[in-house]
Structure 1
């Protein structure tokens, strides 16, 4: 049975393993091994994941199926956001699923949880960055009302790429 739960402080290994596996499944075929390795070393090390989990302005949710990790989402508010946004914004920094669990409703469940969290915290907008060439993810976000509001650079290893910035209004009630 699928479940979505808040991560705990002892979930570093689970989140790191999920982060590396999902990121690799999603982007390895489109980037060099050197750039992938550098990104993983710089951004998905145990120390980095520990700091992110311990940051009070960041929250990780882990999706499981029959008790096995299937994906995760990281949301940020305040100073943890990767771009300067207003107090009324929440960022979905990462939303990844293992390939075997895509198109089974887990991504929808995680995104709904993001909207619920934003609403509970009095946020009026959710924003995110998505690689300009990740058409399936862009279409997924558009189904939730996200529209393009700009772009920013995303550096993967030594490769400077462009992420689209997208934003959605948080409805008062679902």
Structure 2
């Protein structure tokens, strides 16, 4: 980034719905953000097993093809920085979002147009290396860039009807996954995605939105509580062969 004399202006992420061609991108985003969030919460073997059983590209393609599921990717201009990065500090893994800081960008640092070229992503489909994905977490890494002007910053998966992992009824929608990359936490991107989720539920005439969150993920629980979600139950979550507990949280639309 150049040391431009332009004044800083607050920016927001751009969101688009994913298609089958986004399986590679979602694979990399999913592995990177999951490892960043849950590394050390089980054995390496259990983590590896979970990643391979959940985020392999063929599995993601099946999910993308399911008419009762929707994926969205949120992107930021490549010149964007969190306030923490501007002051030389690494962003913390504090949950889906934070209201304490904002993203800014020098408008002259990037072009006005952007595409969605994922040609630089890994071709791996059958194995997942969490170490490689964690090491590629820099927002300027070519393996994570959408193109020269935008960088993928996070994603969300919504489930309807029978695609929900719990039978919450046909009038409910599940937010199964909502992850923001470490470098972009504190930019309000989690809030943007959650607002889209609630808007989607309202447009479909649904009455309830729900999700599962690990019982020990305090930042995420605070985030969802702040969005109006309350605990309504719990269920078992298997990270490999490690049985864990997720709290179920829900709110009316």
TM-score (norm 1): 0.96
Which whole-Å CA distance do the structure 1 matches of 2:170 and 2:163 have between them? 12
Matched, 1:3 2:86: no
* Bigger relative contact order (CA 8 A; separation at least 6): 2
Which whole-Å CA distance do the structure 1 matches of 2:170 and 2:237 have between them? 23
| Mapping of residues 105-124 of structure 1, within 5 Å | 105-124=188-207
Cα deviation digits, residues 100-157 of structure 1 (max 9, x gap): 1111100000000000000000111000000000000000000111000000000001
Where in structure 1 are there 5+ consecutive unaligned residues? none
Match of residue 127, structure 1, among 206, 210, 213 = 210
Question: In the alignment, which residue of structure 1 is the partner of 2:162?
Answer: 79
Cα RMSD after superposing both structures? 0.8
Kindly state the Cα deviation for residue 35 of structure 1 after the two structures are TM-superposed: 1.0
Task: Report the structure, 1 or 2, having the larger helix content.
Answer: 1
Larger Rg: 2
Question: In the alignment, which residue of structure 2 is the partner of 1:35?
Answer: 46
Match of residue 92, structure 1, among 171, 175, 183 = 175
Which whole-Å CA distance do the structure 2 matches of 1:47 and 1:12 have between them? 8
Between the two proteins, the alignment pairs up a number of residues equal to: 170
Matched, 1:140 2:231: no
Question: In the alignment, which residue of structure 2 is the partner of 1:63?
Answer: 74
Point out 4+ residue stretches in structure 1 off by more than 4 angstroms: none
